[in-house]
Amino acid sequence: MLNVSGLNVAYGHVQVLRGISIYVNEGEIVTVIGSNGSGKSTLLKAISGIVRANAGEIKFNGRHIERNPAEKIVSHGISQVPEGRQLFGELTVLENLQLGAYLRYRKRGGSKAEIVRDLEFVYTMFPVLKDRVGQPAGTLSGGEQQMLAIGRSLMSRPKMLLLDEPSMGLAPIIIQNIFETLKDLREKGLTLLLVEQDAFVALELADRGYVLQNGSVVLHDTGSNLLNNEEVRNIYFGQRKTRGSQ
């Protein structure tokens, strides 16, 4: 479904990604883990068209998208849930969700009835959002905001969802609920590419994983194999234990 080959991205003179090659098959959950500054978020931004690659190819369902603007990539079926949620805080829950369907509202012949059905689907996945429908997004809890950010992305009817650090700043029980929802979305046919600092929860969920270091892929294996990889356990699970003990 997604094939990234030889991807290089630089910010000015700073090279962030160096020859990245990954693939995601339809129906998979694939995670990308790595320390801060390893290039994880930049990889997602390049796929979604927020930053432009200096070299390499990005193909989605056989179509080259590496030179497409972000809105065109959304129309092809890729939607990103950004790091930090990036909601419109003064707008209501409903208005944020409607903005997720903006391109569909603009599309000639677009069905408003389908958009209403998709709103109901989001409310089914996240019932609390229906209870908060008229509430400003900025007044929601962190977990509720993450649900809204995912729901907003679902409103574009993506084939693939990119998620950047969905567990950031959330309590463990909320993280568990969010990741159970991601599993449900995969079972409903959505393909997921997940960037996550918490390697343990990410690899438990994922079919496959990539480990990034200094802008390059240094390991690629199934989620279960990476969970049991001694190098990964020493680096990432050791960090997790230290954070949890503070």
- What is the residue-wise DSSP string for 162-184? EEE-TTTT--HHHHHHHHHHHHH
Q: Are residues 20 and 91 in the same domain?
A: no
User: Pick the residue with more confidence: 204 or 242?
Assistant: 204
Q: Are residues 110 and 222 in the same domain?
A: no
Confidence of residue 244 (pLDDT cuts 50, 70, 90): very low
Q: Are residues 58 and 15 in the same domain?
A: yes
The CATH number of the domain holding residue 32 is 3.40.50.300
Query: How many domains are contained in the chain?
Result: 2
**At residue 219, does pLDDT exceed 90?**
yes
pTM for this predicted structure? 0.89
Any idea what DSSP says for residue 219?
A: E
Q: Are residues 32 and 140 in the same domain?
A: no
78 burial via Cβ count (<10 Å: 0-12, 13-18, 19+):
buried
Which tens digits make up the pLDDT trace of 130-170? 999 999 999 999 999 999 999 999 999 999 999 999 998 89
Any idea what DSSP says for residue 35?
A: -
Q: Are residues 170 and 73 in the same domain?
A: yes
Domain for residue 82, yes or no? no
**At residue 109, does pLDDT exceed 80?**
no
What are the residues facing 216 on neighbouring strands? 213
* Domain enclosing residue 100, as ranges: 87-157
Domain for residue 205, yes or no? yes
Q: Are residues 199 and 128 in the same domain?
A: no
Q: Are 206 and 220 in contact (CB under 8 A)?
A: no
